[in-house]
Amino acid sequence: MTFVLTPEQEAFAASLRDLLAAADTPHIAREWAAGRPDPGRKLWRELADLGVWALLIPAEQGGLGAEPADAVVAWETCGYHAVPGPVVETLGVAPRLLAGEPGTLTRIAAGDVIATAALPPEVPRALDADVADVVAYCDGEAVTTPSVRSAGTPVASIDAVRRVFAVPGGGERVADPRPHAFEFGVLGVSAQLIGMAARMLDMATEYAAQRRQYGRMIGSYQAVKHLLADVAMRLEMARPVVYGAAVAAALADHTDAADHTDPAGRTGPAGCAVSTDLVRDTSAAKVAATRAALLAARTALQVHGAVGYTAEHDLGLWLTKTRALAGAWGGTDHHRRRLLSALRGTDVA
């Protein structure tokens, strides 16, 4: 399956790449991890100027009403540049959980509000709840907005840039959430992983073309070439799966979700039915993207050697983020079970 970006999507991606390349995102990520989010908030507003946070918000609520594939372009590019913060939650999850809060969505689209979310049991903790302006909490029955002040101490994470918090339920109940919030979260993380895999492949390729060992560039050795080629192949196999999930997300939005009940009997937020095709395709995307990113991380570290372990080297930002996102919004085993359930039409424990 081949997906070709439209000229508009190509232009949007180019503008986004230019902005993030000039922003020194590794420095911003390190500041974010140190509890100094001001540079990140500045970048957040600059991304808003490009329309990133408005993509999946309806036009009547201050957004652009774009397609999920447009959001995948943004998520992938943000992953490539390791943009910190709840990018997935603000861009993809909040517009669905907070659909009944048009004022909040308008402020999200403008970049004035950073949103995060918790959807237990799959997503029991909220990312960056200490920095977020609004937290959406969905327990499967209702969506509420607990106070951001209720966030306690962050839970230890392998990635210091990702600060996750246990957020209690309660708070004001939100009316009329849209379905598929979890699936959009999975789609966003999958796209980020694709972008991160591409960045680690580029970093490894560049290093292999510079590093000399035994009088030769290490990239001239066939074994190194094969390692990099394997990553490139895995990445090119995974990317269409992610964009295919974006197509399924668009179809689910344009189809009566009540006709597509989840085969395991699960329901979406506040009882909204879940599209079986979307369950299948987003879970397949998460599995494929995770495999590609983990292979890219392992290969990049192998090519760089010990320098890749150091905190001073930028590669470490992508290595730890890859490990964290591999388990975020459901790990590989969870999504393989969901995928099998959707294919069989039966519940798989």
Q: Could you tell me the mean pLDDT of each successive run of 10 residues in the chain, 349 residues long? A: 83 97 97 96 98 96 95 98 98 95 95 95 93 91 79 83 88 86 97 99 94 74 91 97 96 65 43 77 98 98 89 94 97 95 72
**Count of H-run helices and E-run strands, the chain:** 12, 9
Which of 9, 90, 68 is CA-nearest to residue 285?
68
Domains and CATH numbers, the chain: 181-344 (1.20.140.10)
Residue 258: predicted pLDDT:
44
**325 vs 234: CA distance, rounded Å:** 18
Task: Report, in this order, helix, strand and coil percent for the chain, each rounded to 5.
Answer: 60, 10, 35
Cβ-proximal residues to 36 (8 Å cutoff; 6+ apart), any chain? none
How far, in Å, CA of 62 to CA of 221, rounded? Answer: 54
Report the SS3 class of residue 117.
strand
- Rounded to the nearest 10 degrees, what angle do helices 222-253 and 276-304 cross at? 160
* Interatomic CA distance for residues 284 and 307, integer angstroms: 34
- Edge-to-edge strands of the sheet including 164-166? 125-127, 164-166, 154-155
- Type of residue found at 154: P
State residue 259's pLDDT score: 45
pLDDT at 254: 82
pLDDT recorded at residue 170: 76
